[in-house]
A and B are shown apart, each in its own frame.
Chain A
């Protein structure tokens, strides 16, 4: 098994052992690479699919930025594709762009790349299992993404265009097709796509929990699990508890639209000069249900990245993780508190202001575990031997950027201040610092770090660093300035805000941000080239190119079907770097114990 050099399961023999010398090649290809039940292949399928959507989401963002910087000017290149009036963007097209940018990035990129790609690939390898607990369920979790891909993708081409009521899909704008051009078929497809993403996440979540609880290698106690696995585990719990609410709410909205149930529509509204139906519902109900899922979901979108960054940072600081248990408790704390803070999205929504006060307190409290995590990362760097690999640079920048994204959250948690900055670019700055400068940087760190395990070759370090440097500069150029736009009160989601006296002087700053955004997307070409070139021509990596401790590094690169050549036995936690008295500077989880004499001396 150790000689397997292909990323997939090389041995279909386990499937058809009875000496069938010539299995049908197409069937073999399909079962190996397409309808594979191997967690690694499924992980890579998720990775490739989400990276393609990442590109689409990025291009949508550029189109948004173009309109914000130079409203109503001809859009270069892309303008020809959707030319209505000589390449100029219509306001309804603009609302569709930012709606679909957020939808794609959240539901088709961040959530599936963390849980689907890294979760699938890493969980069995890091806990010493040969595969997931339910391989078929796992395969289905990927294939249930395809109806979602198709629904979201097709919605661009239906009459009225794709959904254009924001990714939060607030009714009554979404429940009444007369309210907005995108609230026709596009919105229905959006809801269907969302449901399938939910099904996929749920299948994954059940599988991850079961696998982590039941399939750990001998000696791998819960408190010897790497942070990545802890984060994936808690993320899976969050998914399992929060998702049903969103799914139910999605169906309610679908019924409101299709058969007029009116869960979210009050009586007596007049939309587009026509009376709406009987009503009897409440628009705020949707907001409660939506955020009951979507606030825990923002932690689903960052916790796994936090876990991966912790693992990568310890490896390249050659130090044990500072405060392993506090790190776990704070992840659990974030997850627990995450269920009682959803109302902070609704401070000015018309919700009872006394309730707003309560949500402010719980929201302030959730800053606490985040702070504890940050301090522990700093503690991990302290006293280390820091190697500036690309993965490490992305990890350090995760911490640096998460500090900004975390602190800016406090402004919005404070209800009086939120009155002014709510729905301005301040919030846009905040969540891009957490989701792009945080999670996406964590994802890149993960890709550079585990690429050798995925493909058996390492990525080019020089071009990796160039990619990091440019991304880091451009992302700050794009997103940091958004804070001060928010301080002016510059509202989000406006196709053109410069006709307001308060905002007319902000165009040059927006133009600067758009230039940076273009640079940020453009420099991903370096990443793409490095990724694909290294897949085929990169230097071969051994089993453990980074001298890391985790179980995944005892398996061949890439691991064959079944992952390990011998059953790994775990003797210690994952962060035993620079152990005194040990010759190597790292002790893998599977290394047999040091002599008792050495251990006793310390």
Chain B
């Protein structure tokens, strides 16, 4: 009987894995440790894919961990008396089943993801860049093209860390780096793209709500990586234009093109 207690103890320990595992994921959203608020057009799809995979893996997780628990409990040597272990080397049928089903599911999963991926990274809107973002240790340098919509002309507006974009419009960011790798991470817009020196990488999104959110560097870029912080302000077209105009006036009032040596 004492031996059975040991079996009980260990099987309950392994039962705790699925029970507590599911509990953590169930409780997390209610204590606000969960996906941050999404304010992008494409984010819904990414989030729903996340939930889809969570549900799928959740089921597999619960089923396999419960089987593990059940086998440990049921086939504990103390519960088996004089009975010998089953002498079996495998099952061809089972192998085929548990090879084909996951294969089909995984292949489906891969194909199912492709459209969302293409939307975010491949189907680039035909437009001129809204803003050029040049990452450098440890700040985000921004350049708006100004009224002529061309980068590299005298009406360019230069800013640091204070990114503004219009709501409900396609935004095209031209992402560059001046020194090392960085990553342009907008958690609330489900956007992340490494900035690579020597490359001009297009990043696009459409914000659906106004507000202010974090811009985070997500690729190690040196000792000051943690403080490479920017803000993104999403505002209406009118506010955005007014802001651009005001910032341009401020720029002209101080000094001509303070950062014109910028790449």
Contact = CB atoms under 8 A, between A and B. Distances in A.
A499 interface: yes
Contacts of A397: 14
Given A385-B85, A417-B46, A419-B120, A494 B226 contact: yes
Interface residues of B, number: 99
A566 B24 CA distance: 56
A423 B192 contact: yes
A578 B178 contact: no
B127 to A, nearest CB: 18
Given A317-B75, A383-B86, A353 B24 contact: no
A575 B85 CA distance: 12
Given A269-B198, A354-B122, A361-B110, 20 more contacts: A91-B225, A95-B220, A165-B220, A173-B181, A180-B222, A269-B197, A361-B107, A371-B102, A381-B72, A385-B75, A385-B84, A404-B61, A414-B113, A419-B121, A487-B34, A496-B226, A499-B227, A500-B216, A506-B33, A575-B89
A495 interface: yes
Contacts of B80: 385
Contacts of A271: 137, 179-180
A501 B220 contact: no
Interface in B139-194: 178-181, 183, 185, 187-188, 190-194
Interface stretch (B62-70, B233-241, B246-254): B62-70
A487 B24 CA distance: 12
> Of B20, B87, B116, which is in contact with the most chain A CB atoms at under 10 Å from its CB?
B87
Interface residues of A, number: 115
A368 B108 CA distance: 13
* Residue of B54, B68, B193, B227 ringed by the most chain A CB atoms within 10 A: B68
B17 interface: yes
Given A375-B98, A404-B21, A414 B49 contact: yes
B243 interface: no
B199 to A, nearest CB: 5
A399 B77 contact: no
Nearest to B222: A180
Given A173-B221, A411-B50, A357 B179 contact: no
B256 interface: no
18 contacts: A166-B220, A172-B181, A179-B222, A269-B198, A319-B87, A320-B87, A350-B199, A364-B109, A365-B103, A376-B90, A385-B80, A385-B83, A388-B76, A403-B68, A404-B17, A410-B106, A484-B24, A501-B213
B242 interface: no
Given A320-B89, A349-B194, A385-B80, A491 B49 contact: no
B84 to A, nearest CB: 5
A414 B187 contact: no
A173 B45 CA distance: 34
A356 B65 CA distance: 32
B36 A489 contact: yes
A417 B50 contact: yes
A236 B179 CA distance: 39
The 8 closest A-B pairs by CB, nearest first: A266-B198, A383-B86, A92-B223, A323-B90, A353-B121, A416-B116, A489-B187, A407-B57
A502 B188 contact: yes
Interface string A424-435: 100000000000
Scoring A266, A350, A410 by chain B CB atoms within 10 A of each residue's CB, the highest score goes to: A350
Contacts of B223: 90-92, 95, 164, 180-181
Nearest to A495: B226
Interface stretch (A22-30, A279-287, A447-455): A279-287
Nearest to A325: B90
A321 B99 CA distance: 17
A247 B30 CA distance: 48
A407 B106 CA distance: 11
Contact of A379 (B24, B49, B90): B90
A522 interface: no
Interface string A402-415: 01100110110111
B106 A364 contact: yes
Contacts of A265: 197
Given A416-B117, A491-B185, A364 B110 contact: yes
Interface string A168-199: 00101100100111000000000000000000
A422 interface: yes
Contacts of B54: 411
B13 A350 contact: no
A340 interface: no
Contacts of B21: 404, 480
A324 B89 CA distance: 7
A376 B196 CA distance: 44
B1 interface: no
A578 B87 CA distance: 6
B232 to A, nearest CB: 11
Contacts of A381: 68, 71-72, 75
A299 B199 CA distance: 32
A472 B88 contact: no
A396 B68 CA distance: 8
A382 B71 contact: yes
Given A353-B121, A400-B68, A323 B198 contact: no
Interface string A325-363: 110000000000000000000001110011011001100
Contact of A484 (B33, B46, B95, B222): B33
A7 B67 CA distance: 41
A491 B196 contact: no
B244 interface: no
Interface in A532-580: 575, 577-580
A378 B68 CA distance: 6
A209 B21 CA distance: 41
Contacts of B192: 348, 419-420, 422-423
Nearest to B111: A361
Contacts of B221: 173
Contacts of A424: 218
Contacts of A497: 226
A488 interface: yes
Most buried by B among A318, A322, A420, A585: A420
Given A349-B194, A367-B102, A320 B222 contact: no
A268 B90 contact: no
B33 A509 contact: yes
B32 interface: yes
B114 interface: yes
A404 B65 CA distance: 9
Contacts of A371: 98, 102
Contacts of A350: 193-194, 196, 199, 201
A472 B213 CA distance: 38
Given A384-B86, A414-B53, A481-B24, A365 B106 contact: yes
Contacts of A284: 196, 199
A356 B196 CA distance: 17
A41 to B, nearest CB: 36
Given A320-B88, A372-B98, A383-B75, A388 B68 contact: no
A454 B125 CA distance: 65
A585 B6 CA distance: 22
B162 to A, nearest CB: 15
Contacts of A413: 110
A385 B183 CA distance: 53
A81 interface: no
Interface string B31-62: 01111100000000110011001101100110
A414 B46 CA distance: 10
B7 to A, nearest CB: 7
Contact of B36 (A95, A176, A488): A488
